[in-house]
Amino acid sequence: MCFPRLNNLRFWLLPFRAVFILSSFFIGTGPGTGWTIYPPLSRFLGHSNNRVDLVIFRLHLAGLRSIAGSINFLCTINNLKAAALSWFNIPLFLIRVWVTAFLLVLRLPVLAGGITILLFDRNMNTSFFDPLGGGDPVLFQHLFWFFGHPEVYILILPGFGLVSHAVIIRRGKAITFGAPGIFLAIVSIGVLGCVVWAHHMFRVGIDMDTRLYFTAATIIIAVPTGIKVFSWVSSFRGRFFETGRVQLWVIGFLFLFTVGGLTGIILANRTLDLLYHDTYFVVAHFHYVLRIGAVFTIIVGLTTWWPVFTGVSFNNIIREIQFFVLFLGVNLTFFPIHFLGIQGIPRRYREYSPRFSFWHATASLGRIISIVATILLFFLWWEALSAQRLIFFINWKSVTIERIFKAPVTLHTNYEMASLRYLKG
């Protein structure tokens, strides 16, 4: 990294951030604003003690840590990459990390400005978000979602990079199919993700032309996203298809992400969003795309690089069982929620009509199965480390730098930059 001491600073800010967020829970009944901290609920009339102030300080520290780390990543990728690498043949994981870091540096100051103004409203008698003083509470929603929607891509883009590398490693190919197209798709998602924030706000009274623009811009994001999905699927072409363990996780991720993307196109429509906003349909959408989609990408990475990290292998039977149990559990949990949302069940309500009990019971059963799968995942890791099935050679089908080292790769393996030769075609 370019700035190792900056990384160290990020780490030592973490305990102070934890102190602020934990302290807020012990003041009164804790911060009751939800994760969006919308005014007027988060203003002094809604929460008259210091719990919201502590949450704001915690967000400032978290933003400072993220900006410091993002600057480190940007400078490292820009300045320390090999001279033989152009932007179009940099590993796709690094491209996604670069776009993620750029989005953080661009958007976190906006969130910091919004919560700082909220701090002024709470403690200095200003009225930026108070209609009685000429302010506008909708302004905070614009500032919040101007950061909040790119945050979705910030969370999922590195996972896309893991999937791209796992596909080529297990399929024995030099690069992902259509790598230049994937590069442009990543950049397009980063750019378009910055201009679609108000699709979270179709119900606040914005005018028809503005809603039309944000509907169109949101639907356009489906184009670069579809390019990535078709490129991953096409990367399996040309070799005998194996239903290996990593392939199962990749296929599971593609299914979940595609389902979530299709429901996202539905919610992008300004008319349908008026019906489905703040219902279980939205809950099902972002869980398919972000929650379980991102979790599957993390497990793809762990499954692929576990031998490199540890030098031992998984029990293949337990690994396949764990995949199918988790895949069944998450789909039983969140797919029925689509039907509840279409029927109008709102978010954050504890009570519901008995006629909706069947789908709620199905989702609860899926949650129990998912918990069992999570316990099985931890057991899988423990079993692999306990059994010590040693790996002396990383039998990957593609030619990568990890393949020339023994497993696990030891510290300080590379004392100097490896010699690179890029073969076109």
Q: What is the per-residue pLDDT across 263-290, written as a single tens digit (0 to 9) for each?
A: 999 999 988 988 999 899 999 999 999 8
So what's the pLDDT on residue 418? Answer: 57
Tokens 């072409």 belong to which residue? 237
pLDDT reading at 398 higher than 70:
no
CA angle 302, 237, 330 (to 5 degrees): 40
Cis ω before 137 (30° cut-off from 0): no
Question: Do 382 and 314 meet the contact criterion of CB atoms below 8 Å apart?
Answer: no
So what's the pLDDT on residue 425? Answer: 42
- pLDDT band at 303; cut points 50, 70, 90: confident
So what's the pLDDT on residue 399? Answer: 58
- pLDDT band at 109; cut points 50, 70, 90: very high
Provide the percentage of residues in the chain whose pLDDT is more than 70: 90
Q: What is the per-residue pLDDT across 136-179, written as a single tens digit (0 to 9) for each?
A: 999 999 999 999 999 888 989 999 988 888 888 776 676 778 88
What burial letters (b/e) apply to 106-145, b meaning 16+ CB within 10 Å? Answer: ebbebbbebbebbbebbeeeeebbbeeeebebbebbbbbb
DSSP calls for 367-424: HHHHHHHHHHHHHHHHHHHHHT-B-SS---SS--GGGGS-SSPPTT--SSPPP--PPP
So what's the pLDDT on residue 241? Answer: 53
Q: What is the per-residue pLDDT across 307-353, written as a single tens digit (0 to 9) for each?
A: 888 888 888 899 889 999 999 999 999 999 999 999 989 988 878 88
So what's the pLDDT on residue 322? Answer: 92
Paired with 346 in beta bridges are: 279
Task: Write down the number of H helices and E strands in the chain.
Answer: 13, 0
Spatial separation of the C-alpha atoms in residues 101 and 104, rounded to whole Å? 5
Spatial separation of the C-alpha atoms in residues 114 and 147, rounded to whole Å? 10
Spatial separation of the C-alpha atoms in residues 9 and 385, rounded to whole Å? 32
Question: Do 2 and 81 meet the contact criterion of CB atoms below 8 Å apart?
Answer: no
Q: What are phi and psi of 279, to 5 degrees?
A: -110, 175
- pLDDT band at 419; cut points 50, 70, 90: low
Spatial separation of the C-alpha atoms in residues 290 and 144, rounded to whole Å? 19
The sign of the dihedral angle between the CA atoms of 246, 247, 253, 256 is negative
Spatial separation of the C-alpha atoms in residues 203 and 200, rounded to whole Å? 8
Question: Do 105 and 97 meet the contact criterion of CB atoms below 8 Å apart?
Answer: no
- pLDDT band at 423; cut points 50, 70, 90: very low
* Number of neighbouring beta carbons within 10 Å of residue 40: 16
Paired with 279 in beta bridges are: 346
* DSSP reduced 3-state for 312: strand
So what's the pLDDT on residue 424? Answer: 46
Q: What is the mean pLDDT of the chain?
A: 86
Which parts of 81-136 fold into alpha helices (H)?
92-123
For residues 9-15, give the mean pLDDT.
89
Q: What is the per-residue pLDDT across 131-143, written as a single tens digit (0 to 9) for each?
A: 988 899 999 999 9
Question: For residue 311, is it left (φ>0), alpha (ψ between -120 and 50) or beta?
Answer: left
* DSSP reduced 3-state for 346: strand
So what's the pLDDT on residue 243? Answer: 56
Burial class from Cβ neighbours inside 10 Å (0-12, 13-18, 19+) for residue 22 reads exposed
Name the DSSP letter for residue 93. Answer: H
The rounded Cα 57 to chain-centroid distance in angstroms is 23
